[in-house]
Structure 1
Amino acid sequence: MLDGGVQYLKGVGPRRAALMAKLGIVSVRDLLLHPPRRYLDRSLTKPVSGLRPGETVTVFGRVADSGLARTRRGLSIFSLLLDDGTGMLRCLWFNQPFLKDRFLTGRTVVVNGQVRWERGPSMASPEYEVLDGDEAELIHTGRIVPLYPSTAGLTNRQLRTVIKGALDGHLDSFADNLAPEIISRRGLTGIRQALQDLHFPPDMESVARARRRLAYDELLALQLLLARRRSARLGTERARPLSDRSWSGDFRRTLPFGLTPAQERVIAEIGADLESDRPMYRLLQGDVGSGKTVAALAAVAKAVRSGCQAAVMAPTEILAEQ
């Protein structure tokens, strides 16, 4: 099921599946691994009586009244009066007439937005959720909310809803490819918990743990791929061993300085590679001035003393002259 197409998930269909494909989301697995780009903390809740202008908060209440009005230009304004027992909060939405069928009198609603003061507290176009029961789980308000990379025609609200449904219906079938002892030794989170916390975290510490687990999986997959390629290459390719060792003393005597322990270690490793019948594929990394060039010259000296030729390439003329 994880490799099945997203178009068969509730609320998707062919049109939204085509939009998701633009984001690289084709399967249910792709959807669960689609990471948020950032998060909004909408977990701060307040009673209406404690609201202050300018603050962004979440308010729970029941629909006391609602109405739809039209302006002379044909625009619609849907207004909602929310009662939480401590006061009334007026919410306004523009050009969303369908909301009149969504907010029924007496229904429990959660809204999140910036408080304004117009003859009392109000919000313009707040995020909202209509709760179907006491056990309803919030995904758009009243919690840390994920914001995803999206595309035209596909809103974050739609993505959150679909991802929540995918988690509820398919997370249990997401196999953990790491052995329990590796998870324990590395201090990682299980993959199912990591995916749950990636999309709907209880706190930002859970997000950090989830991202660490997914990053570990990506790096592990890359290292395994490179190891397989290296194993296949070493099984077929052969090189001439450069077995001469007399170069080492002469090379060191020509240097006007002594080598550092790190340089000695790297030169020894390069020498062992050159003495093998396997081709050497090595990247030497170090800060400016750490002595990478002398390590390369040591490899050149060993090759020449072994009867071979060597070439040193530099990216610029200045470096070549140096």
Structure 2
Amino acid sequence: MNADTKALDAPVSSLKGVGEALVLKLARLRVACVADLLFHLPLRYQDRTRITPIGTLRAGHEAVVEGEVMASEVVRGRRRSLLVRLRDGSGILSLRFFHFSPAQQQQFRPGARIRGFGEARAGATGLEIYHPEYRLLSDDTPPVEDHLTPIYPTTEGLHQTRLRALIEQALALLDADPEALPDWLPESLRQRFGLPELHHCLKVLHQPPPDADPDQLASGLHPASRRLALEEL
């Protein structure tokens, strides 16, 4: 057994940033060792690989948007909220937060540039995104994602971003040695049915390329999904 195989068999506590509390949360997902993370597969996917002009947004669609803050204010009504008006040259969109801090409110000063992701909905000011994931834009802001974003089964207190980061650590260990996980399907059988190798399947299912069909991935019809199903049989 090589070093990477041992790393995949190691408890999740061996990963960076995993303490006792996180170990207990992962246990509720039946994730005990590093390899378990590799087989904790997404339920669905989001496309965060492109910026959508605000003017083309439609209610019910999830999208990544970028724009400049025009104004922000605390609105008092049935529920107190922070309303941020964002524009990008093609249109205007509202970001609405029902839970916010004074420090967060200060971030949305006029002229600040924001990248956000969420589902556009019809609201009191037109199209709105409630509690978007967002970041302030700067010269060193990374580009948009280069693969579809997985959404995993999770548990209380364990956010998607944390779970993705752990799975990325596990994938890095697998990338270091693709043979660290045994491939139980004979090569002749894989060639007969045109099925990819195990490490490639896991990479595709956790980090699908932008041109992958999210519905095909989520429904189990993608070749990578079929490959894992055949191995289970």
User: d(CA) in 1 for partners of 2:16 and 2:88?
Assistant: 32
**2:198 aligned to 181, 186, 191, which one?**
191
Q: Secondary structure at the match of 1:152?
A: coil
Question: What secondary structure sits across from 2:67 in the alignment?
Answer: strand
Return the match for 1:55 from 55, 60, 82: 60
Deviations 1:123-143 (A, max 9, x none): 22234466763544267xxx4
Which of the pair has the greater relative contact order for Cα pairs under 8 Å at 6+ separation? 2
In the other structure, the counterpart of 2:162 is 158
Residues paired across the two proteins, number: 211
CA distance in 1, matches of 2:72, 2:124: 18
Tell me how far apart the structure 1 counterparts of residues 9 and 17 of structure 2 sit (CA, whole Å): 18
Contact persistence 2:93–2:127 (CA under 8 A): yes
- Spell out the pairing of 1:210-225 with structure 2 (5 A cutoff): 210-219=224-233
Q: Using the alignment, how far apart are the partners of 1:102 and 1:24 within structure 2?
A: 39
2:19 matches 1:13? yes
The equivalent residue for 2:120 is 114
Instruction: Check conservation: 2:72, 2:85, Cα contact below 8 A.
Output: no
- Separation of aligned partners in 2, 1:26 and 1:103: 41
Confirm or deny that 1:64 pairs with 2:78: no
Aligned partners of 1:15 and 1:119: how far apart in 2? 41
- The correspondence of residues 1-322 of structure 1 with structure 2, limited to 5 A, is 1-36=7-42, 38-42=43-47, 46-52=52-58, 54-64=59-69, 67=72, 69=74, 77-97=81-101, 99-100=104-105, 106-128=112-134, 133-137=141-145, 143=148, 145-167=149-171, 169-172=172-175, 173-175=177-179, 176-177=182-183, 178-201=185-208, 202-204=212-214, 205=216, 208-219=222-233
Question: Which structure has more strand as a fraction of its residues?
Answer: 2
How many Å separate the matches in 1 of 2:56 and 2:21? Answer: 44
Residues 1:152 and 1:183: Cα distance change in structure 2 (over 3 Å): same
TM-score, length-scaled by structure 2? 0.70
Given that 1:57 and 1:113 are in contact with CA atoms closer than 8 Å, whether structure 2 keeps it comes out as yes
CA distance in 1, matches of 2:121, 2:106: 25
Counterpart of 1:190, as a letter, is E
1:12 deviates by 3.5
Q: What secondary structure, in the 3-state scheme, does the structure 1 residue paired with 2:8 have?
A: coil
Larger Cα-atom Rg:
1
Q: Tell me by how many angstroms 1:146 deviates.
A: 3.3
Aligned to 1:273: none
Q: Secondary structure at the match of 2:173?
A: helix
SS at match of 2:9: coil
Give TM-score scaled by structure 1 length. 0.54
Q: Provide, for residues 88-136 of structure 1, a one-character-per-residue CA deviation record: whole Å limited to 9, x for no partner.
A: 2211122243755877864551312132243343222234466763544
Name the Cα RMSD after superposition. Answer: 3.5
Aligned equivalents of 1:7 and 1:152: distance in 2? 19
Gaps of 5+ in 1: 220-322
Whole-Å Cα distance in 2 between the matches of residues 8 and 76 of structure 1? 43
Query: Which deviations, in whole Å up to 9, do the C-alpha atoms of 1:133-170 show, x marking residues without a partner?
Result: 3544267xxx4x43333222223343234323432x22
